[in-house]
């Protein structure tokens, strides 16, 4: 069959639209801008000499290549960003004004910073709050006392400044850590417990109250997840749901309540926990049409490694293959067990690079880091669960410390913009990992990470054209083809 005279609409209906539309892509005559971050150097998102493409015949197996094929495209990027928590907001408030502005520009400016476009915040307190709190008086089932006043001192002003720094728009989703204690089986905000059946409607109404309150404060909410980390009994704010309990809460209470409250357009995310149970949880809620009709996507975290397992990227692929019309979104990840003397460890960034490349290649549409900012203790955190953030504020000196995780994330967020479509990318050496996207402006951004101990010469090979370059040891680079 020839597609020459078929309309794009018909091609799209055949499932061939973008691939066929891009089939004429040629790298001939194009230049490649290179931006590199490398261990043992001063390079941090550093611009290098431009590369040129030359005709390249069939490569042999001894030639190391990163192959990019813009003729075949996949998911569309929603955005990349991080969580705006109480801990981040309180730490930000302790910084001198000049460092506050530096921080906002570093994260949210697409030109001077790394251009974050996605954000998450918490409904009520979480471990990264200075203390536990709720928005209602104890026992107030009717929610008449509901108020987001606890967020007005630090978090709401912080979020508003982030939105302004991002140009007036951040795609924001929200997640609860726990219902109020009286609504739970253990009558405790902390230590797990479950939502009591008689409070399911009241709790569903609580999401609507929160979203409405934030939107009245000038903070638009794009979406929400049902519950943070539904299988973890934590020493901090937590609440447990089996897959069946989550399914039934969505279809019988939360989904209908959002619709009734005029919030049916908000994107609902199920699971919001680790990759280990990802398929089992997704299949349980998505195989029920009455629950699935309310669900935009399945959220996941990267902490399955607490079991000593490696990251379970194949579980993402199974979900994406089985439910291609449901979105995958990375909703949280951070490096745990903060130690100030490790803020310069290179492994911090490599964990991010490994996850982001594999998550995007598995079909993920959005990627959300955890706290955007923490202090020199890895907090504040009211239960001592201190963690790393890409940017650490030393509140003793007022200075900002940029870990290499900030730069590794920036190799994606700065150069791969919302609306970009992932395109086919492979490598022929396992120490080189890569992913690529075509941006809305037509530029192709290729991210290549070398996790090996040696520099690696390779060819960036695109449809019979190749640009020769070298990936330094323990580095990440973005190649922008224009």
SS3 state of residue 232: coil
pLDDT tens for each residue of 86-132? 999 999 999 999 999 999 999 999 999 999 999 999 999 999 999 99
Report the pLDDT value the prediction gives residue 298, as an integer from 0 to 100.
Answer: 99
Indicate the DSSP class of residue 337. S
- Residue 13 in this model has a pLDDT that exceeds 50: no
319 & 464 share domain: no
* Among 377, 401, 418, residue at a domain's last position: 418
- Averaged pLDDT, 405-426: 98
148 and 274 inside one domain: yes
State residue 448's pLDDT score.
Answer: 99
Q: How confident is the model at residue 23 (pLDDT cuts 50, 70, 90)?
A: low
> Which CATH number covers residue 431?
2.60.40.1180
Please write the tens of the pLDDT for every residue from 55-82. Answer: 999 999 999 999 999 999 999 999 999 9
- Same domain membership, residue 131 and residue 45: no
What are the backbone dihedrals phi and psi of residue 81, each rounded to the nearest 5 degrees, phi first?
Answer: -175, -155
Domain shared by 190 and 244, yes or no: yes
Catalytic residue selected from 90, 237, 245, 332: 332
Whether residue 432 sits in one domain with residue 406 = no
In a domain, 394, yes or no: yes
Q: How confident is the model at residue 22 (pLDDT cuts 50, 70, 90)?
A: very low
- What value does the mean pLDDT take over residues 143-162? 98
Active site residue 332: yes
Between CA 209 and CA 124 the distance in angstroms is 12
pLDDT, position 24: 84
Which H/E stretch holds residue 400?
strand 399-402
Is residue 12 very low, low, confident or very high in pLDDT (cuts 50, 70, 90)? very low
347 Cβ contact list (under 8 Å, min separation 6): none
Please check whether residues 382 and 471 belong to one and the same domain.
no
> Average pLDDT for residues 319-330, to the nearest whole number?
98
The answer to whether the CB of 84 falls within 8 A of the CB of 155 is: yes
> Quick one: tokens of 389?
């953030």
Q: Is residue 19 part of a domain?
A: no
Instruction: Among 395, 418, 441, identify where a domain stops.
Output: 418
Q: Of 90, 229, 230, 304, which residue is the catalytic one?
A: 229
Query: Of the ranges 13-27, 137-151, 298-312, 377-391, which one carries the lowest mean pLDDT score?
Result: 13-27
Collect all residues with Cβ–Cβ distance below 8 Å to 474 and sequence separation of at least 6: 38, 39, 40, 346, 350, 450, 451, 452, 453
Q: Is 14 a domain residue?
A: no
Is there a single domain that holds both residue 183 and residue 233?
A: yes
% of the chain exceeding 90 in pLDDT: 95
The arithmetic mean of pLDDT across residues 31-57, rounded, is 98
For this structure, is 229 an active site residue?
yes
**Residue 368 zone, left/alpha/beta (φ > 0; ψ -120 to 50; rest):** beta
**Residue 238 and residue 198 share a domain:** yes
Pairwise CA distance, residues 105 & 383, whole Å = 31
Buried b / exposed e along 128-140 (16+ C-beta atoms within 10 A)? bbeebebbbeeee
Where in the sequence is the domain holding 65, given as residue range(s)? Answer: 31-75+423-481
Question: In the chain, how many domains are there?
Answer: 2
Same domain, 153 and 67: no
Q: Among 14-18, 136-140, 212-216, 286-290, which is the least confidently predicted range?
A: 14-18
Residue 71 sits in the same domain as residue 83: no
Token pair of 32, please?
């490649």
- pLDDT band of 16, cuts 50, 70, 90: very low
Last residue of a domain, one of 418, 442, 471: 418
Determine how β-strand 391-394 pairs with β-strand 399-402. Answer: antiparallel
Quick check: 71 and 25 in contact, CB under 8 A?
A: yes
292 is a domain residue = yes
């Amino acid at each position: 069959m020839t597609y020459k005279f078929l309309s794009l609409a018909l091609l799209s209906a055949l499932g061939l639209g973008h691939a066929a539309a891009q089939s004429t892509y040629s790298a001939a005559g194009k230049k490649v801008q290179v931006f590199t971050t490398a261990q043992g150097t001063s390079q941090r998102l550093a611009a290098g000499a431009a590369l040129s493409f030359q005709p390249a015949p069939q490569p042999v197996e001894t030639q190391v290549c990163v192959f990019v094929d813009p003729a075949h495209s996949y998911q569309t990027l929603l955005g990349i960003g991080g969580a705006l928590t109480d801990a981040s907001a309180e730490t930000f408030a302790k910084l001198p004004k000049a460092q506050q502005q530096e921080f906002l520009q570093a994260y949210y400016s697409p030109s001077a910073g790394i251009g974050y476009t996605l954000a998450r915040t918490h409904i009520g307190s979480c471990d990264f709050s200075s203390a536990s709190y709720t928005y209602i008086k104890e026992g107030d089932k009717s929610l008449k006392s509901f108020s987001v006043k606890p967020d007005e001192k630090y978090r709401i002003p912080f979020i508003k400044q982030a939105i302004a720094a991002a140009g007036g728009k951040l795609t924001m989703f929200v997640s609860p850590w726990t219902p109020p204690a009286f609504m739970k089986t253990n009558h405790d905000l902390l230590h797990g417990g479950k939502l009591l059946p008689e409070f399911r409607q009241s709790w569903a109404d609580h999401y609507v109250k929160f979203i409405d309150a934030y939107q009245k404060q000038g903070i638009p909410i794009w979406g929400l997840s049902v519950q943070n980390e539904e299988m973890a009994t934590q020493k901090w704010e937590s609440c447990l749901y089996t897959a069946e309990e989550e399914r039934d809460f969505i279809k019988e209470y939360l989904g209908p309540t959002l619709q009734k409250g005029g919030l049916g357009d908000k994107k609902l995310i199920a699971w919001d926990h680790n990759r280990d149970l990802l398929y089992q949880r997704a299949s349980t809620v998505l195989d029920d049409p009455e629950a699935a009709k309310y669900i935009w996507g399945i959220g996941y975290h990267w902490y399955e490694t607490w079991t000593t397992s490696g990251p379970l990227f194949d579980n993402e692929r199974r979900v994406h293959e089985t439910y291609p019309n449901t979105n995958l979104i990375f909703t949280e990840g951070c490096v745990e067990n903060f130690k100030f003397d490790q803020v310069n460890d290179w492994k911090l960034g490599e964990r991010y690079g490994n996850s982001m490349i594999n998550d995007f290649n598995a079909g993920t549409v959005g990627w959300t880091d955890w706290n955007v900012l923490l202090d020199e203790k890895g907090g504040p955190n009211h239960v001592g669960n201190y963690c790393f953030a890409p940017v650490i504020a030393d509140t003793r000196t007022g200075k900002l410390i940029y870990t290499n995780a900030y730069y590794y994330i920036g190799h994606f967020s700065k150069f791969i913009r919302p609306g970009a479509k992932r395109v086919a990318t492979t490598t022929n050496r396992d120490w080189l990992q890569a992913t690529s996207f075509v941006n809305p402006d037509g530029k192709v951004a290729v991210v290549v990470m070398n996790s090996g101990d040696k520099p690696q010469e390779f060819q960036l090979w695109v449809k019979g054209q190749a640009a020769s370059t070298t990936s330094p040891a323990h580095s990440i680079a973005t190649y922008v083809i224009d």
